[in-house]
Amino acid sequence: MTAPILIRVTHRYAHPAARVFDAWLDPATVARFMFSAETGGLVRCELDPRVGGRFVMVDRRADGDVEHCGRYLEIDRPHRLVFTFGIPAVSPDEDRITLDFRALDDGCELTLTAEMDPAWREYEDSSRQAWAKMLAALEQALD
């Protein structure tokens, strides 16, 4: 098996790690930063934030709604959150997303690592940009 593509994006927040961590498990907050775009946004956000729990998010786009889903693999508040992430209408493949939170004197740093199947290499840059955009949008959602 070929090694997965690793995408890493880091963002610093002027908020404690626990607050940033909790934002990922709160449907109202998730709806404010995941897939936030001028042309759409989340129209459905259902989270079951427990190990083994699933989530479903529906992103409204100009060309139609897109369902994203996954399940929680690890929840270690406020240090690490790991979940799968996929788009069933496009592929049965799921990425593995790991969020590592590091406390800082003036807030925290979040490092997101996405492990993608090498078959999706052409989407590596756009995926990196999308995750970076969502991490920046999370900062606005927390303010």
Mean pLDDT of 95-115: 97
Give the structural domain span for 58: 5-142
CA 17 to chain centre: 16
Across 26-40, 80-94, 123-137, least confident range = 26-40
Band the pLDDT of 77: cuts 50, 70, 90.
very high
With a cut of 70, say whether residue 41 has pLDDT above it. Answer: yes
As a whole number of Å, the CA-based R_g of the chain is 15
What percent helix, strand, coil does the chain show, rounded to 5?
Answer: 25, 45, 25
Give the pLDDT of residue 37. Answer: 56
Mean pLDDT of 91-119: 96
Band the pLDDT of 71: cuts 50, 70, 90.
very high
* CA dist., res. 120 & res. 60, Å (int): 22
- Using DSSP's 3-state secondary structure scheme, residue 124 falls into helix
Mean pLDDT of 10-15: 98
Number of folded domains that form the chain:
1
Give the pLDDT of residue 52. Answer: 98
* CA dist., res. 30 & res. 108, Å (int): 18
Cα dihedral 103, 19, 135, 86 in deg (nearest 10): 110
Mean pLDDT of 72-84: 98
Q: Of 80, 76, 101, nearest to 12 (Cα)? A: 101
With a cut of 80, say whether residue 49 has pLDDT above it. Answer: yes
Mean pLDDT of the chain: 92
With a cut of 60, say whether residue 38 has pLDDT above it. Answer: no
Return the CATH number at 17.
3.30.530.20
Give me the percent of the chain exceeding a pLDDT of 90: 76
pTM above 0.85, yes or no: yes
